[in-house]
Chains A and B, each alone.
Chain A
Amino acid sequence: MNPRHIRQRNIGLIALGFALVIFIMPFAYIFLMAVKTKQEAALFLFNWPSHWQLWANLVDVVQTRNYMLLLAYFNSTIITVGAVSLLVMFGAMVGYVLQRRPSGWNRLIYACILIGLMVPPAVVPTIWVLQGLGLFKTIYGMILIQVAYGLAFSVLLFRSFIGTIPRDLDEAAIIDGAKPWQIFYRVILPLLKPVTVTLIVVQAIAIFNDFTNPLYYLPGKENVTVQLTLFNFQSQFQSQYNLLFMNILLVTIPPLLVFIFFNRQIVAGMTAGAVKG
């Protein structure tokens, strides 16, 4: 091997080492903490556990407070699936209409979308609104909040992607006898697959992992979401860090799976439209 190749290999190894430290180490730390005993975990050392109790900790976490984690998974899944479905449907529809039918209203609508992106949501007034509508402390209310927060981004994403679909396709469908909703569902929507997958992954992970919004808008024991179960093992006087980390581990797994399965499509969606295929 000549020196140039050796240098390239070394640079590669160093880069891999950095990536390992940044991405794998925290995960390894969580995992090791999660299998320790309570006493050992309280020391916060990055060491090999002297006594493995993976299964015992797992059972403990799942059974805590009358299987609260399972309820939390259920609630989080409902919120995530509901909100992401609505985001995809409304984002694609609004994006389609905005892109295809220019009108005097478009400027105003764009202004609203940008406001939606830029202005931080105010918590207390939002709670007033939810209370007024009778949606406070309900799963539906939470879904609508997540849709409201994510819609501006998804409209922009869909609108720009639809801009890359030639208008000739719409016109060909019109001549073939398609009604506007048929053009959308049978021609446009299937072509939005790459960007839809991207949106599903990004929003699903964000909503599933959301901590603050459920904390504000969804109080109540029966409304718990996965991130809020982390409070179960932390209190002023006693914290069970091994169980807390086991909980973190369990909560991390679903988004991780989504990411592993869809990461090719995410990249495809991010770059789609950049180069004509």
Chain B
Amino acid sequence: MVSTSSVVLKNIRKSFGAVEVIKGIDLTISPGEFCVFVGPSGCGKSTLLRIIAGLEEASTGAIEIGGQDVTQAEPSSRGIAMVFQSYALYPHLTVRDNIGFGLSLAKRPKAEIAQRVGAAAEALQLTPLLDRKPKALSGGQRQRVAIGRAIVRDPKVFLFDEPLSNLDAALRAQMRIELSDLHRKLGATMIYVTHDQVEAMTMADKIVVLNGGRIEQVGSPMDLYHAPVSAFVAGFIGSPKMNLYDGASIGEACTTYGIRPEHLRLTDEGPRWIGTVRHVERLGADTVIYLNVPNLGEMVVRTDGDSNPAIGATQGVSPVAGRAFHFT
């Protein structure tokens, strides 16, 4: 099953009182695409998702889901399902009733509810947990129940609002893989909000970088990595963050000069910059070195795992040719 439902946003604006939080967004999400909204907190990404869900009303603009204008439609008739950051499971209902809640509201026959809940539980390995209450589940299991509640609605579009941010790091990595698998299996259009650029890079077909209520850039993860259009996107995508410097202070004809930590090399032969080692993070496979460079400030260098310069030592650094970014 491959979804045929695209999501089209036309000039969406949203104001809370005098404050405009979404400042005109035009976006097309293709059918079956895994689209990630990413940006710092307060950039409007969650609000945008809630507007698509129908939980907030856009001040102006139109939303189309699967070719139909749903701007005025109720959330339940938009063909969407949403997974919340807090999971929002109904605490007084069992897993079975949580997943089947929407179907029972729609007054579906009991046999159909049982069959669809069973199928969703099967797909998410929740079958042994069906008679438990949410409080008897672990974080990852609750997450899966929330996803099950979304699946059983058979929606055209899945919406995820930072669904992994309450999980610990190991579980988050596992759930990233499970969600990607789910996307492949269902083939549904998915819109996913996160502030975590790792989630964006690893799961997305298309990343939408938001900043201050506007779209900064739209593209595939590697497009954004290789060709960021602005210093903001460059600083947001990639870990550790790109080093960004004022163009004038570094002697380049641009407003902002950027170089990723992985594109810097430690060298003693004619280095471009010389700094003192302030801090060393040894991650095993890599070592991240924080240098203090006179007149520039901090410079982060990512190098191989075995290098271990002494703190306070003087260290020369050069950029890899052709890897620097010049933002005007």
Contact = CB atoms under 8 A, between A and B. Distances in A.
Interface of A: 166, 168-169, 171-178, 182, 186-187, 190-191, 193, 277
Contacts, number: 53
Contacts of B135: 277
Interface in B42-96: 53, 55, 75-77, 80-82, 84-86, 88-92
Contacts of B82: 171-172, 175
Nearest to A176: B102
Contact of B105 (A166, A169, A176): A176
Contacts of A169: 88, 90
A168 B76 contact: no
A176 B149 contact: yes
6 contacts: A168-B84, A172-B88, A175-B102, A176-B102, A177-B76, A182-B105
Contacts of A186: 101, 105
Interface residues of B, number: 23
B153 interface: yes
A166 B76 contact: no
A171 B102 contact: no
Contacts of A182: 105
B218 to A, nearest CB: 26
A171 B86 contact: no
Nearest to B106: A177
B84 A172 contact: yes
B101 A173 contact: yes
B86 A176 contact: no
A177 B102 contact: yes
Given A172-B149, A182-B105, A186-B101, 12 more contacts: A166-B86, A168-B88, A172-B89, A172-B90, A173-B90, A174-B55, A175-B53, A175-B80, A175-B82, A177-B77, A177-B102, A178-B76
Given A176-B101, A176-B105, A171 B88 contact: yes
Contact of B81 (A175, A178, A190): A175
A170 to B, nearest CB: 9
